[in-house]
Amino acid sequence: MNILEIIGYQRANLGKQEAKRLRTEAYAPGVLYGGKEQIHFYAPMALLKNLVYTPKAYFVLLTIEGTRHKCILQDIQFHPVSELILHIDFLQIFEDKKVTMHIPTILVGDAPGVVKGGRLVTKIKKMAVSAYPKDMPEHIKIDVSSLDLGQMVRIHHIQTDNYKILALPNAPVAMVEITRALRTTGEATETKPGKK
């Protein structure tokens, strides 16, 4: 799993005015929970952007007042207009407790249907996954090497190791769509039935 280190500073004042002042100084207020007690902190927005504005999934090593906490991003609030980070929540994780994270999907293989003129489409770019921290994948590989025109990979086609995908088994993940050009030429009618 990808790891990102973030430095945080404990908050002494939890008032709204203090939170507003922190944001004007390019810090985001936050809370770390899941441990023995909640820890209110603030962290530089520049560091948080590397965590928030990325397709990757990360474990976070959050250091507050010299103590390092292993955690994951749990919730984030944005300003409705400026998209400024208003507040961020982290959940402390432990090796003996399962956690849920949104893990990106990546497509692997060459789909025969694309060679025939179809268009490969990703239906789900991130999946909710439940696992112990040591088993959490960085990404989920979706094998599309057997997809012909009109065929798709569904959740239940994906092989998982020591983790569970929290989605409906029949939900489509990726498919080779038949383009309008193929429909007009009639080539799409010659394809075999897709995966069910």
Domain stops at, among 69, 93, 117: 93
Residue 188: pLDDT band by 50, 70, 90 thresholds? very low
* 17 falls within a domain: yes
Average per-residue pLDDT in the chain?
A: 85
State whether 80 and 107 are in the same domain.
no
Which of 23-32, 89-98, 123-132 shows the lowest per-residue confidence on average (mean pLDDT)? 23-32
Sheet hosting strand 152-154, strand order edge to edge? 119-122, 172-177, 152-154
Residue 196 lies in a domain: no
Q: Are residues 78 and 104 in the same domain?
A: no
The mean per-residue pLDDT over the stretch 135-159 comes to 90
Q: Are residues 167 and 140 in the same domain?
A: yes
CA dist 150 and 145 (Å) reads 13
Residues 29 and 45 in one domain: yes
Give me the pLDDT at residue 185, please. Answer: 67
The more confidently predicted of residues 20 and 38 is: 38
Looking at residue 195, its pLDDT comes to: 52
The pLDDT value given to residue 186:
61
pLDDT tens digits for range 65-93:
889 999 999 888 887 877 778 889 999 99
Average pLDDT over residues 156-165: 90
Work out the average pLDDT over 139-147: 90
Q: Which domain holds residue 41?
A: 2-93
Mean pLDDT of 24-49: 87
65 dihedral zone (left: phi>0; alpha: psi -120 to 50; beta): left
Closest CA to 55 of 102, 92, 121: 102
| pLDDT exceeds 70 at position 2 | yes
Bridge partner residues of 70 (DSSP): 61
Q: What single-letter amino acid sits at 96?
A: D
- Domain boundary residue among 49, 73, 93? 93
CATH classification at residue 172: 2.170.120.20
Among 65, 93, 121, residue at a domain's last position: 93
Does the pLDDT of residue 42 top 60, yes or no? yes
Is residue 9 located within the same domain as residue 72?
Answer: yes
Number of structural domains the chain divides into: 2
Q: Are residues 35 and 107 in the same domain?
A: no
14 and 85 together in one domain: yes
Within the chain, residue ranges assigned H as helices are 16-24, 45-52, 112-115, 180-185
- Residues 59, 119 share a domain: no
pLDDT score for 84: 79
Q: Looking at residue 59, which CATH number applies to its domain?
A: 2.40.240.10
